[in-house]
Amino acid sequence: MGHAIAYVFASVGHQVSVFEPEKEARDTLIERILRISESLETKDFEIQNILVSDSLEKSLSDCDLVIEAIPEKLELKKDIFDQCIKFAPKHSILATNTSGLPITLIAEDTKEPNRIVGTHFWNPPHLVPLVEVIESPYSDRNNIKIIMDLMRSAGKVPVHVEKDVPGFIGNRLQHALKREAIALVEQGICDAETVDLVVKEGFGQRLAVMGPLENSDLVGLNLTLDIHEFLLKELDNSAKPQELLRNKVNDGKLGMSTGEGFRKWTKSESLAAHERLVRHLTNIAKRRIKKGS
């Protein structure tokens, strides 16, 4: 996530300084960023806008914004923000790219929790426009506005998450859908391939241009209410991960990486699925860049 976030800002002319403690990741960073630029065929991209360092203090010495994208471990995040507060200029805003840890928990024991906000980029950050900007009860409201404006100027689509709830907005929606998808398979209503086909060939076709609430307005809220009256009580409302998921994980069926998850995957099928996704997102991103230039 970190190298692609660096690309996002460098591609619009910001000076970006990346702190990377691991040698291999540090040595390949510039090459990985250049690959992004090539795939998007960006003109005028200045790789010199990006400096890579093995010193956090040096990286933070002259910055207005810090975006943390280290592993999803609360103690690591707390520690790095303590160091950011120590080394980064006083005026700088400190942001975490956590996928789901509460910003409040990351910020609360630090000396300056008001400087910390959430900036949840979606993977891959250079292709997916959305960034959820999360306000914690400690966050300085003015920082939220500054971050939202900055994200827009970097071609992102920021949304303000006004309360620091687990999963923010996107992951709550995504995992509500996944819970029902797993329940359908677990209850023998259909297999995993059928669930995916229904989404991809059905309502998924509309989702990129019409959100679920816009769609409710389109079909009429009275219809939505009528459906909810009989359907909601039928939907899965498990408060814990389902047995089907737990058993697969316990059996080492983790998905593409192990050759089987909800379905079986050969290496070439996994590769093809990954390439299909990247090609699709890259084509959309290229059209967006072309339109904006």
Ligand X SMILES: NC(=O)c1ccc[n+]([C@@H]2O[C@H](COP(=O)([O-])OP(=O)(O)OC[C@H]3O[C@@H](n4cnc5c(N)ncnc54)[C@H](O)[C@@H]3O)[C@@H](O)[C@H]2O)c1
120 belongs to the catalytic site:
yes
Check binding of 21 to ligand X (CB under 6 A): yes
- Least spacing, CB of residue 24 vs ligand X, in Å: 8
CB of 236 to ligand X, least distance (A): 25
**Stretch touching ligand X by CB under 6 A, among 39-47, 96-104, 271-279, 280-288:** 96-104
Query: Is position 99 annotated as part of the catalytic site?
Result: yes
> Residue 25 CB, nearest distance to ligand X (Å)?
4
1 touches ligand X (CB under 6 A): yes
Catalytic residue among 132, 135, 136, 139: 132
Per-residue binding string, ligand X, 253-282, x by CB under 6 A, is ------------------------------
Rounded to an integer, what distance in angstroms lies between the CA atom of residue 59 and that of residue 88?
Answer: 9
Window 187-226: residues binding ligand X (CB under 6 A): none
Query: Given the complex with ligand X, which of 115 and 185 has the nearer CB atom?
Result: 115
Selected range binding ligand X among 32-40, 68-76, 143-151, 279-287, rule: CB under 6 A: 68-76
Q: For ligand X, give the closer residue by CB, 154 or 183.
A: 154
Candidate ranges 71-79, 85-93, 198-206, 282-290; the one touching ligand X (CB under 6 A): 71-79
Please, which residue, 75 or 229, has the CB nearer to ligand X?
A: 75
CB 16 within 8 A of CB 30: no
What's the closest the beta carbon of residue 4 comes to ligand X, in angstroms? Answer: 8
CA 68 vs CA 64, 81, 86, 203: distances in Å: 13, 8, 15, 35
The reply on whether position 97 binds ligand X by CB under 6 A is yes
> Which amino acid would we find at residue 144?
I
> Rule CB under 6 A: is residue 20 a binding residue for ligand X?
yes
Stretch that binds ligand X, among 17-25, 144-152, 173-181, 273-281 (CB under 6 A): 17-25
Between the alpha carbon of residue 153 and those of residues 12, 13, 128, the distances in Å are 8, 11, 15
Question: Do strands 130-134 and 16-19 pair parallel, antiparallel, or not at all (unpaired)?
Answer: unpaired
- Count of residues that interact with ligand X, criterion CB under 6 A: 18
- Residues within window 114-173 making contact with ligand X, judged by CB under 6 A: 121, 123
Nearest to 40 by CA among 288, 221, 262: 288
Catalytic, 247? Answer: no
Residue numbers annotated as active site: 99, 120, 132, 171
Binding interface with ligand X (CB under 6 A): 1-2, 19-22, 25, 69-72, 76, 80, 97-99, 121, 123
